[in-house]
Amino acid sequence: MTKALEGVRILDMTHVQSGPTCTQLLAWFGADVIKVERPGVGDATRGQLRDIEGVDSLYFTMLNHNKRSITLNTKTDKGKEIFTKLLEACDVIVENFAPGAMDRMGFSWERIQEINPRLIYASVKGFGPGPYEDCKVYENAAQCTGGAASTTGFLDGPPMVTGAQIADSGTGLHLALGIVTALYHREQSGKGQRVLAAMQDGVLNLCRVKLRDQQRLQRGPLKEYSQHGQGIPFGNATPRAGNDSGGGQPGWILKCKGWETDPDAYIYFITQAAVWGKICDAIGKPEWKEDANYATPDARLDKISQIFDTIEEWTKTMTKFEVMKICNPLGIPCGPILSMKEIAEEPSLRETGTIVEVDHPTRGKYLTVGNPIKLSDSPSDVKRSPLLGEHTNEVLSEVLGMSPTDIADAKTDGSIGDETTASTIAAQ
């Protein structure tokens, strides 16, 4: 079976999380991703949050699978020459440097089009054009500027960021879609184009329902928010909604047996209208089925908190898995709060390749998240991340046809690195 993106070559100038998430996805789908790193330095995340001295961090390894790594200083004359040849040989360049870095390197979009008009030039930036376009941005800053933080957390608490990396990994996902779309378009136009995914825009796209609520708020209270039932007036902006569901079916996180000592002994419980009668029977409140105060979704809206308190008295008598076991056959949508430990140990996620164990020459075995997007005819296998400069010689000779003497010359002035340790370890 062939990989879906086999034959596509990506020049990967990305670092940290957002850009690497994008190129890792493309690599999983079979693209040849050549990661360019600074000689002797590499992607900063190789050394960040290290758990083993001198070994590439999990931060790096878990974002850079299936790629090749070369070291190249794109600021020396020789380095620029090699980089230009790589631009000629690739289909896509991806970068997430601070604004203006590619221009300062001497590779503006205009220059790139001259070098290779078919090349797609894809970037992650913090912001699109406007007052903040020159700003550097990290995950949580984008969660704040994209509307997520102001709408996350509890009403009586401060704005809150979420653990899901919606700004970095989320924008990387958006960018990957932009790249494959531009590749598809190039089939007809024969031309590359500029692809930009701004982190603020990516976060806002994921917070679309909160902008929906902002506009609904102008026409009256948001009745499905539990603050409505609690009699707390709304202000002029979409409020933080705690664990309220963002849709039309009320939901909340409820305690289960063991909650006093286990921080994850909870379940998300949705009072879907279609199964209201079954919920009433299950929790021992069959009279609510006929009671006009509870029988319809509209009648329940101002009692949502009280209803969930009653359901919680029932869920507290069982473990989250026992609640799930009862609710599932009844068609009541709910989801136990799974800890990372439980997820890491879940056999079904191993079987589908969503959680994968990978072997690494200096780290040994570690767990990672495999490709979450499954194609029926183009399965993804997860290959370990490259060591710094592990493929420099291989890529320069195979892709650019450089001779061993040319490569040795480029090493003498530091334009490419001499990471012999990396290649030696990798060869073992």
Q: Name the residues that contact ligand COA, by CB under 6 A.
A: 16-19, 36, 38, 72-75, 96-98, 101, 104-105, 124-126, 136-138, 168
Which residues lie closer than 8 Å to 402 by C-beta, 6 or more apart?
82, 396, 410
Closest separation in Å from C-beta 203 to ligand COA: 12
Closest separation in Å from C-beta 138 to ligand COA: 5
Closest separation in Å from C-beta 112 to ligand COA: 15
For ligand COA, the closer of residues 99 and 246 by Cβ is: 99
Distance between CA atoms of 180 and 120, rounded to whole angstroms?
10
Closest separation in Å from C-beta 135 to ligand COA: 7
For ligand COA, the closer of residues 147 and 389 by Cβ is: 389
How is residue 416 annotated by DSSP?
Answer: B
Distance between CA atoms of 363 and 1, rounded to whole angstroms?
31
CA-nearest of 418, 421, 396 to 406 is: 396
Question: What are 336's strand-pairing partners?
Answer: 267
Which residues lie closer than 8 Å to 180 by C-beta, 6 or more apart?
5, 26
**CA triplet 123, 160, 297: central angle to 5 degrees?**
105
Closest separation in Å from C-beta 90 to ligand COA: 15
Question: What are 227's strand-pairing partners?
Answer: none
Which residues lie closer than 8 Å to 228 by C-beta, 6 or more apart?
221, 222, 234, 301, 302
Closest separation in Å from C-beta 41 to ligand COA: 8
Give the Å distances, CA to CA, from 144 to 128, 172, 198: 15, 18, 14
| Residue 291 annotated among the catalytic residues of the structure | no
Q: How many CB atoms lie within 10 A of CB 370?
A: 20
Closest separation in Å from C-beta 9 to ligand COA: 18
Query: Phi and psi dihedrals of 348, rounded to 5?
Result: -65, -30
Q: How is 49-82 classified by DSSP, letter by letter?
A: T-SSTTS--HHHHTT-TTEEEEEB-TTSHHHHHH
For ligand COA, the closer of residues 272 and 392 by Cβ is: 392
How is residue 359 annotated by DSSP?
Answer: E
Q: Phi/psi class of residue 57: alpha, beta or left (left: φ > 0; alpha: ψ in -120 to 50)?
A: beta
Distance between CA atoms of 366 and 357, rounded to whole angstroms?
6
Asked if 410 and 81 touch (Cβ cutoff 8 Å), the reply is no
Closest separation in Å from C-beta 160 to ligand COA: 20
Give the Å distances, CA to CA, from 383 to 55, 356, 366: 17, 10, 12
Residue type, 298: D
User: Of residues 168, 262, 298, 359, which has the active-site annotation?
Assistant: 168
Q: Which residues are catalytic?
A: 168
